[in-house]
């Protein structure tokens, strides 16, 4: 099936290349999707040749109310019309996370300048109102740089929890007229609802969407955040150290399985040295027992203070004026796809919104196995973004 899909897309590419200039965003988007999905064969060769050369600038900083925050600029050769602020989700590596750097390079190869911007609290496995403030600061600063924002506006692409926070920040009065578009890639609409799903597995029903058990990664993040509510004070730091070690091991599996195994063993060693109840809870994490751990966490969710307006688009009084693009994996088990459905409903007709729930997407990355129809829907989605 994969070879057949590639052949069909190759024929379609030839047709597009022979078509009018109207097809140009679709050709660029098709090349972007091919590179992001890692398709092999002749398509990959064509897509790599079509990609712009990229200059990856040294790490720099953006000024914010919390001080200078690390950034990295990916600049396409031949100039660009639009620059985007690309923000990773919860990951210790921040702007150095391998999937984020690949996405930045794929977008830059499509002719978009990309400034990656890591939120310190998300790197520390915390979702806080301060992150939304820093996003607002970064949007304001970047849109004021004439070499990046040639028309005084920028695009914003937020991944995972940074997607929902980006929608909130883009609606704030100081920046809302400086934003060309916002892409929420696997983002949330209401943080308390996502937290309840991760802890209980209870997911609001949306017609056409199946329910899925929550991913153990998200449940572990909740334990890290509210450890002080479930263990004695003298056990909090040690429990968080063990959970953090597990989360880092989970992230390392994408880069170096041997290193991930060693890090995971350190987490097991930490668990063995802990007293109860910390040992029991960390063991739940290590065994990926989301049911048992969720039962411990669910009664304590109020300690997250996740209902603050700065953390959820559904709870904030302002909305973006720019188009909002909602891209979500249909079977996402960290932030359910229903969240993007709810966000579109919340934004309503006042905000131009496009929603794509795709089986070509996992939580926050492109999967190579899907139907040709799925691939074309994703191509059309990104074409709509890239023409802005």
Query: What pLDDT does residue 11 have?
Result: 47
Give the list of residues 6+ apart from residue 336 with CB closer than 8 angstroms, or none.
194, 197, 203, 204, 209, 211, 212
Co-location of 88 and 204 in the same domain? no
- Give whole-number Cα distances, 370 to 66, 79, 212, 299, 329, in Å: 42, 33, 19, 39, 12
Out of 280, 304, 328, a domain closes at 304
> What are residue 39's phi and psi, to 5 degrees?
-65, 140
Co-location of 241 and 122 in the same domain? no
pLDDT in tens, 57-66: 999 999 999 9
Co-location of 370 and 344 in the same domain? yes
pLDDT-derived band at 370 (thresholds 50, 70, 90) equals low
Q: Buried b / exposed e across 290-321, counting CB within 10 Å, b at 16+? A: beebbebbbebbeebebebebbbbbbbeebbe
Query: What pLDDT does residue 365 have?
Result: 53
Co-location of 274 and 298 in the same domain? yes
In a domain, 44, yes or no: no
The CATH number that applies at residue 169 is 3.40.50.1820
Among 264, 252, 312, residue whose Cα is nearest residue 132: 312
Four-CA torsion 328, 330, 331, 332, nearest 10 degrees: 10
Which is more confidently placed, 30 or 235? 235
Q: Inform me whether the pLDDT recorded for 151 exceeds 90.
A: yes
Q: Inform me whether the pLDDT recorded for 257 exceeds 60.
A: yes
In a domain, 113, yes or no: yes
Q: Is 28 in contact with 110 (CB distance < 8 Å)? A: yes
Cα distance between residue 191 and residue 343, in whole Å: 11
Q: Is 343 in contact with 184 (CB distance < 8 Å)? A: yes
pLDDT in tens, 295-323: 999 999 999 989 999 999 999 999 999 99
Q: Tell me what the mean pLDDT of segment 228-236 comes to.
A: 98
Co-location of 210 and 172 in the same domain? no
Query: What pLDDT does residue 299 have?
Result: 96
Alpha carbon 254 to chain centroid, angstroms:
16
pLDDT in tens, 88-142: 999 999 999 999 999 999 999 999 999 999 999 999 999 999 999 999 999 999 9
In a domain, 132, yes or no: yes
Co-location of 232 and 344 in the same domain? no
Q: Tell me what the mean pLDDT of segment 331-358 comes to.
A: 95
In a domain, 159, yes or no: yes
No. of H helices and E strands in the chain? 16, 9
Query: What pLDDT does residue 318 have?
Result: 95
- Residue 151, helix vs strand vs coil: coil
> What are residue 255's phi and psi, to 5 degrees?
-115, -50
In a domain, 259, yes or no: yes
Query: What pLDDT does residue 5 have?
Result: 52
Co-location of 150 and 242 in the same domain? no
The single-letter DSSP state of residue 67 is E
Out of 269, 304, 339, a domain closes at 304
Co-location of 67 and 184 in the same domain? yes
pLDDT in tens, 259-296: 999 999 999 999 999 999 999 999 999 999 999 999 99
Out of 255, 273, 304, a domain closes at 304
Q: Domain range spanning residue 236?
A: 193-304
What's the longest Cα–Cα distance across the chain?
A: 69
Q: Inform me whether the pLDDT recorded for 203 exceeds 70.
A: yes
Among 342, 343, 314, 339, residue whose Cα is nearest residue 329: 339
In a domain, 29, yes or no: no
In a domain, 11, yes or no: no
Q: Buried b / exposed e across 229-239, counting CB within 10 Å, b at 16+? A: bbbeeebbebb
Co-location of 176 and 316 in the same domain? yes
Cα distance between residue 97 and residue 376, in whole Å: 28
Q: Is 323 in contact with 351 (CB distance < 8 Å)? A: yes
With a threshold of 0.75, does the pTM exceed it? Answer: yes
The domain total for the chain is 2
Co-location of 157 and 81 in the same domain? yes
> Which range, of 1-5, 120-124, 248-252, 272-276, averages the lowest pLDDT?
1-5
Q: Tell me what the mean pLDDT of segment 135-160 comes to.
A: 98
Co-location of 265 and 177 in the same domain? no
Co-location of 60 and 157 in the same domain? yes
Residue in the structure block whose two tokens are 């070499």: 147
In a domain, 2, yes or no: no
């Amino acid at each position: 099936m994969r070879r057949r899909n590639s052949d069909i897309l190759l024929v379609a590419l030839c047709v597009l290349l022979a078509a009018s200039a109207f097809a140009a965003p679709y050709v660029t988007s098709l090349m972007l999707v091919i590179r992001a999905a890692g398709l092999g064969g002749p398509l990959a060769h064509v897509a790599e040749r079509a990609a712009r050369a990229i200059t990856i600038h040294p790490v720099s900083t953006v000024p914010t109310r919390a001080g200078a925050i690390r950034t990295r600029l990916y600049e396409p050769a031949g100039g660009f019309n639009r620059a985007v602020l690309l923000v990773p989700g919860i990951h210790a590596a921040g702007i150095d996370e391998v999937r984020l750097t690949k996405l930045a390079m794929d977008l830059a190869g499509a002719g978009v300048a990309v400034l990656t911007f890591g939120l310190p609290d998300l790197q520390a496995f915390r979702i806080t109102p301060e992150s939304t403030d820093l996003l607002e600061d970064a949007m304001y600063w970047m849109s004021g740089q004439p070499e990046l924002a040639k028309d005084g506006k920028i695009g914003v692409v937020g991944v995972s929890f940074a997607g929902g926070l980006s929608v909130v920040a883009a609606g704030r009065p100081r920046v809302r007229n400086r934003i060309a578009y916002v892409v929420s890639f696997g983002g949330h609409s209401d943080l308390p609802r996502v937290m309840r799903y991760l802890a209980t597995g209870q997911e609001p029903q949306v017609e056409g969407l199946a329910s899925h058990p929550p991913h153990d990664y998200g449940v572990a993040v909740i334990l890290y955040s509210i450890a002080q509510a479930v263990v004695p004070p003298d056990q909090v730091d040690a429990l968080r150290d063990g959970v953090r070690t597990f989360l880092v091991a989970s992230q390392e599996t994408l880069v170096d399985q041997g290193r991930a195994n060693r890090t995971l063993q350190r987490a097991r060693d930490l668990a063995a040295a802990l007293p109860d109840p910390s040992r029991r809870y960390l063991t739940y994490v290590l065994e990926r027992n989301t049911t048992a751990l969720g039962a411990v966490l669910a009664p304590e969710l109020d300690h997250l203070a996740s209902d603050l307006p700065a953390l959820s688009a559904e709870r904030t009084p302002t909305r973006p004026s720019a188009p909002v693009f909602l891209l979500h994996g249909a079977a996402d088990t960290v932030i359910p796809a229903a969240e993007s459905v709810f966000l579109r409903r919340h934004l309503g007709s006042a905000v131009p919104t496009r929603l794509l729930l795709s089986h070509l997407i996992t939580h926050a990355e492109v999967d190579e196995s899907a139907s040709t129809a799925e691939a074309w829907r994703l191509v059309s989605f990104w074409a709509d973004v890239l023409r802005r």
